[in-house]
Structure 1
Amino acid sequence: MELIEYPDTEMMMMRLADLLASQIKQALLTNDRASLAVPGGTTPGPIFDNLCSIDLDWDRVDVMLTDERWVPESSDRSNTRLLRSRLLVDRAAAARLIPLYADAATPEEKLDDLSAGLDACLPLSVVLLGMGADMHTASIFPGADRLDHALNGDDLLVAMRAPGAPEPRITLSAKVLNGAFNRHIVIIGAEKRAALDKAQGLSAEEAPVSAVLKDCTVHWAEA
């Protein structure tokens, strides 16, 4: 794991957007298409705001989430809604969205269809992850019902239910995340930095983020 510390979050978001764009461009030099997987939540929004305006061949880029809450886009808890409003705009509006949600009561009903769409984009060119204070990443939570499957199984996508998560989730598996050519984690604040340090001494079952730290670059700013 490589840790990069930044003097402030604004600089981190700008530099990380430039780095992601550079790695996408590099992937497009030797491939017809490139793939980018990103988290939802509040942290990556400023990265998206910077990334969406960068000049690259967005029409050759597949964009997807690392995980999604099983809610429709009309919900303010939809990560897909965030992507459409802050990343898939400006120049990046030309990118192709690979969905992690479909209209069904449970994620299990659509896993095969969604996995087929994802499979065509593998291995991923670039992955950006977040991390919670509980040391989860994507929707691979400690204590989740299919934690072992997400960490050690061969499936591309895993439906997850976890304590404290109000709706079912769907997540890229550790196998998919670790197969990406470039992997980054972005975290902000002293609490998450302490959680990252703690995770390195724990098992993946206790701290799921530790399953993806090898050869990963972590980007951190205090505030």
Structure 2
Amino acid sequence: MEATAMAQLKPHEFDSRTDLDIWLAREIAAALETAISERGSASLAVSGGRTPLGMFQQLRQMRLDWDKVWITLVDDRWLPADHPDSNEALVREHLLKYQLAAAHFVPLKTVHEQPAAALADIDQRLRAIPQPFDVVVLGMGDDGHTASLFPCAAELEAAADPANPRLVAALQPMSAPYGRISLTLATIARARNLLLHITGSKKKQIFEAAMAASAAEPHLPVRRVLDRAPGVCHVFWAE
């Protein structure tokens, strides 16, 4: 992958997903350690799905003052916290264990029936976390969505508006089940360290096509997020 000036990308390619997971976990831990040293605490937002599971395993082994770290999700499905499709359930099972049990976890799901009704409450929760986020780890879907910023969602434009003052947005993608709650584009783009984690040749091709699209073409959400990031975005990829 070649970096583009518009997105200030720094690519990192690995021979194996295990190597990627190790290096990504180290990068996250180093950024969190720097934040703790400089500001006394650190904040991390992670994505769900299967891609980050190996990285979670590696991150659990990193020695850090985890009691000074706040962790939340980039996005989640509007489901009970114990539902098998819940990102919260996945993070609790695979990340918040052993040393990381000491971290402060802030879930996105509330008792509200619909995510749109919960925006003010979730905003208040997240504003208790050190902002901007020290580290945000994004994934990407085959349609170019990142977080729950789906290109097919009617709510995308509001969620991707850089002037949106909320930290989160509610979306109902037409191509995926369940209502969603997601960090807004502006919240993600403000992160001190923005890391994109993708695997497989198909996603690499989708990502490269998204970044190569001309200004006249509609940009996929992953491109829109990275174009708004003021610093360097590190892209981690392995087959």
Judge same fold: TM > 0.5, yes or no. yes
Report the secondary structure of 1:158's partner residue: strand
Which of residues 121, 124, 127 is equivalent to 2:133?
124
What's the offset of the Cα at 1:205?
5.3
In structure 1, give the amino acid aligned to 2:193. Answer: N
Which of residues 80, 92, 97 is equivalent to 1:89?
97
- Length-normalised TM-score, structure 2: 0.90
In structure 2, give the amino acid aligned to 1:18. Answer: R
In structure 1, give the amino acid aligned to 2:222. Answer: V
Q: Would you say 1:211 and 2:219 are equivalent positions? A: no
Partner of 1:54: 62
Which of residues 183, 192, 199 is equivalent to 1:172?
183
Partner of 2:198: 187
Alpha-carbon distance in structure 1 between the residues aligned to 2:70 and 2:151? 29
Alpha-carbon distance in structure 1 between the residues aligned to 2:119 and 2:16? 39
**Percent same amino acid among aligned pairs?**
36
Partner of 2:80: 72
What's the offset of the Cα at 1:213?
2.2
Work out whether residues 200 and 210 of structure 1, in 8 Å CA contact, stay in contact via their aligned partners in 2: yes
Work out whether residues 146 and 160 of structure 1, in 8 Å CA contact, stay in contact via their aligned partners in 2: yes
In structure 2, give the amino acid aligned to 1:174. Answer: L
The list of structure 1 runs, each at least 4 consecutive aligned residues, that deviate by more than 4 angstroms after superposition, is: none
What's the offset of the Cα at 1:141?
0.5
- Length-normalised TM-score, structure 1: 0.96
- Cα deviation per residue 1:38-57 (whole Å; 9 max; x = unaligned)? 00000001111110121101
Work out whether residues 152 and 175 of structure 2, in 8 Å CA contact, stay in contact via their aligned partners in 1: no
Partner of 2:170: 159
- Cα deviation per residue 1:140-161 (whole Å; 9 max; x = unaligned)? 0102111111111232100001
Report the secondary structure of 1:175's partner residue: helix
Work out whether residues 77 and 180 of structure 2, in 8 Å CA contact, stay in contact via their aligned partners in 1: yes
Alpha-carbon distance in structure 2 between the residues aligned to 1:117 and 1:201? 37
- Where in structure 2 are there 5+ consecutive unaligned residues? 1-8
In structure 2, give the amino acid aligned to 1:220. Answer: W
- Where in structure 1 are there 5+ consecutive unaligned residues? none
In structure 2, give the amino acid aligned to 1:78. Answer: S
Partner of 1:25: 33
In structure 2, give the amino acid aligned to 1:213. Answer: L
Which of residues 157, 160, 169 is equivalent to 1:148?
157
Partner of 1:2: 10
Alpha-carbon distance in structure 2 between the residues aligned to 1:41 and 1:63? 16
Alpha-carbon distance in structure 2 between the residues aligned to 1:175 and 1:119? 14
Work out whether residues 147 and 205 of structure 1, in 8 Å CA contact, stay in contact via their aligned partners in 2: no
What's the offset of the Cα at 1:117?
1.2
Question: How many pairs does the alignment contain?
Answer: 222
What's the offset of the Cα at 1:89?
0.3
Report the secondary structure of 1:81's partner residue: helix
Greater displacement, 43-52 / 201-210: 201-210
Alpha-carbon distance in structure 2 between the residues aligned to 1:57 and 1:155? 29
